[in-house]
Structure 1
Amino acid sequence: MAATATLGLVNLLPKRNGNRSSGLKPFPNPRPPCLPRLPSAPRPHLPSPALPLLSDAPSILPAAAAVAFSLPLFFHPQDALALDGEFGILEGRTFALVHPVVMGGLFFYTLWAGYLGWQWRRVRTIQNEINELKQAAPAAPMTIAAGSDAEASPPASPTPAEAKIQQLTEERKALLKGSYRERHYNAGSILLGFGVLEAVGGCLNTWIRTGQLFPGPHLFGGAGITALWALAASLVPAMQKGNDAARNLHIALNTLNVLLFVSQIPTGIDIVFKVFEFTNWP
C-alpha cells in the first residue's frame, strides 16, 4: 500500500520535456550596454626619492656602524648578560677583561717606575763617591823654578783617582739632565692611583659577574700589592727629608711588590680563561 502511494506521488511530479524545439525559448543573456570611454587625465609624475649622495656617506657610516654593533644584542640579548642580567653589560666579557689588561700594563709600568727611581738614587750616591775620592786623593803640588823668569811646569797626567772623579762628574751631569726625580715621583703617583682603583674594580667586577668573591692566592696577593703600594707611598715625606732608612725600606717594599706581581701572572691567566669560558661578548 505504501508502494502504491509512492507511485501516485511520482505521477504528480511534472515531467521534463526533452523536445528542444518546443515553443518555450530560452532567456537571452543580457549584455551590458557599451558605455562611452571617457578621456583619462594625465597621471602626475611623482619624483622618485633621491639616492644619498657620496657627500652624505660620512654621516651614514656612524649610523650603520651603530646598527651593526647593536644587531647582535637584539637577536641574542641573553649573550650580553653573564649572570642574571641585573647589571646589564657590566656582567659581560668586555668589562671582565678590563682588570687583567690594566693590571698587565701596570706591571710593566712598575718596572719602569723602579728604573726611574734607581736612576735618581744613582744621582745621589754618585755625589757621595765623588766626595770620598776627593778626600782620599791629596792635591798634587805645583813646583815653580827659582828666578824672575820662572814659569810653572807643565801639568802632570791625572792620577787614577782624579780620572775617576772626572768620569763620575760627567756621569752625574748626564743623569741630572734626565730629571729622574720628577719622573719617578710622577710615575709613582700614577701607579698608586690607578693601581688601587683597578684593584678595587677587579673585586667589584668579580662580584657583579658571579655574586661572590673567591678567597685564594690571587685575591690575597692583590690585597698585599695594594697594601705595599700604600706603605711605600707613606715613606715619601721621610725620604724627602733625607732619611736613608726610609729610602731603603721604600726600595725593599717595592721589590717585594714586584715579586708579588710576578706571582699574580699564572693565577691571573687562569682567571682570564674562565672569563672566556663563562661569559659572552660584550
Structure 2
Amino acid sequence: MNLELSPSLKYWLNFFHPIMMWALLAISIYAAYLGLKVQRTRNAQGEEKKELIKGRYNIRHYQIGSILLALMVAGAVGGMAVTYINNGKLFVGPHLLAGLGMTSLIAFSAALSPYMQKGANWARMTHILLNFTLLGLFAWQAITGVQIVQRILTNA
C-alpha cells in the first residue's frame, strides 16, 4: 500500500508545526502568568488572599499546563514526522535537540504535580525552575524555527 502525499500537501504541512508552536509559546507565557498568580495567592494574607482565591489561578494554571503538555508533545512528534515525510530523514541539530529537551522538561515538570499538591516545596521550586528554563528554550526555539521556515520558503 502506497500512501504518497501530494507535493502541495507536503509543502503546506511544513507550516503546521511552526504555527502550533508559536501559539503554544503564547499559551506558555499565559501559564507562567497564572503560575505567578498562584504563588502570589499562596503568599498573600487576609483580604488580598480572599480576593486572589476568587481568581481560581491554581485550577486555571493546572488546566493550561495539562493542555500545554499534550500539545507540546504532539507538536514535537508532528514536527519530526513532517520533517521525515518531506525529507526522508531528520536533521539532527540544535533545533531538534532543544525541542526534544523541551519535551522532556515539560514532562518532568508535569510529573511534579502530585508532589506539589501534597505541599512539597522542593517540587514547587523545581517545577518553577524547569518551566522558566523551558520558556527560555522555547523563545530560542521560536527564533531558530523562523530561520528554518525562511529556508523552506526560499527553497520553494
* TM > 0.5: yes
Partner of 1:113: 31
Query: Structure 2: which 5+ residue stretches go unaligned?
Result: none
- What code does the residue aligned with 1:244 have? N
- The partner residue of 1:97 within 4, 12, 15 is 15
Q: Trace 1:178-193 onto structure 2 (pairs within 5 A).
A: 178-193=55-70
State the shift of 1:189 in Å. Answer: 0.4
Find out whether 1:216 has 2:93 as its counterpart. yes
Q: Distance in 2 between matches of 1:174 and 1:271?
A: 46
Q: Within 2, Cα distance between the matches of 1:89 and 1:115?
A: 41
Query: Of Structure 1 and Structure 2, which has the larger fraction of its residues in helix?
Result: 2
Amino acid at match of 2:122: A
Report the Cα offset of residue 225 of structure 1: 0.5
Q: Does 1:227 find its partner at 2:95?
A: no
Residue 92 of structure 1 aligns to a residue in which SS? helix
1:123 paired to 2:37: no
- Structure 1 Cα separation of the partners of residues 17 and 38 of structure 2: 31
Change (3 A) 1:109 1:248: same
Q: Which has the larger radius of gyration?
A: 1
The question of whether the paired residues in 2 share the 8 Å contact of 1:199 and 1:226 is answered with yes
Q: By how many angstroms is 1:89 displaced?
A: 5.3
**For 1:230-264, what per-residue CA distance to the aligned partner results, in whole angstroms no more than 9, with x for missing partners?**
00000000000000000000000001001111111
In 2, are the aligned partners of 1:192 and 1:230 still within 8 Å (CA)?
A: yes
Task: Within 5 Å, give how 1:1-282 maps onto structure 2.
Answer: 86-88=4-6, 91-127=9-45, 169-279=46-156
Q: How far off its partner does 1:265 sit?
A: 2.1
SS in 2 for 1:215: coil
How far apart are residue 275 of structure 1 and its match?
1.7
Shift of 1:90: 7.4
For 2:44 and 2:88, locate their aligned partners in 1 and report how far apart those are by CA, in whole Å. Answer: 54
Give the aligned partner of residue 140 of structure 1.
Answer: none
**Deviation per residue, 1:133-156 (Å, 9 max, x gap):** xxxxxxxxxxxxxxxxxxxxxxxx
Give, in whole Å, the separation in 1 of the partners of 2:93 and 2:5: 25
Q: Return the alpha-carbon distance in structure 2 between the equivalents of residues 90 and 240 of structure 1.
A: 48
Instruction: Tell me what 1:60 maps to.
Output: none
User: How many residues are matched?
Assistant: 154
Cα shift readout 1:52-86 (whole Å, capped 9, x = no counterpart): xxxxxxxxxxxxxxxxxxxxxxxxxxxxxxxxx93
Letter in 1 for 2:21: M
Instruction: Confirm or deny: 8 A CA contact 1:90 1:208 kept in the other structure.
Output: no
C-alpha RMSD over aligned residues? 1.5
Residues 255, 90 of structure 1: CA spacing in aligned structure 2 closer, same or farther, 3 A cutoff?
farther
Letter aligned with residue 119 of structure 1: K
Q: Distance in 2 between matches of 1:184 and 1:236?
A: 11
Cα displacement string for residues 33-65 of structure 1 (whole angstroms, at most 9, x for unaligned residues): xxxxxxxxxxxxxxxxxxxxxxxxxxxxxxxxx
- CA contact 1:113–1:188 (8 Å) conserved in 2: yes
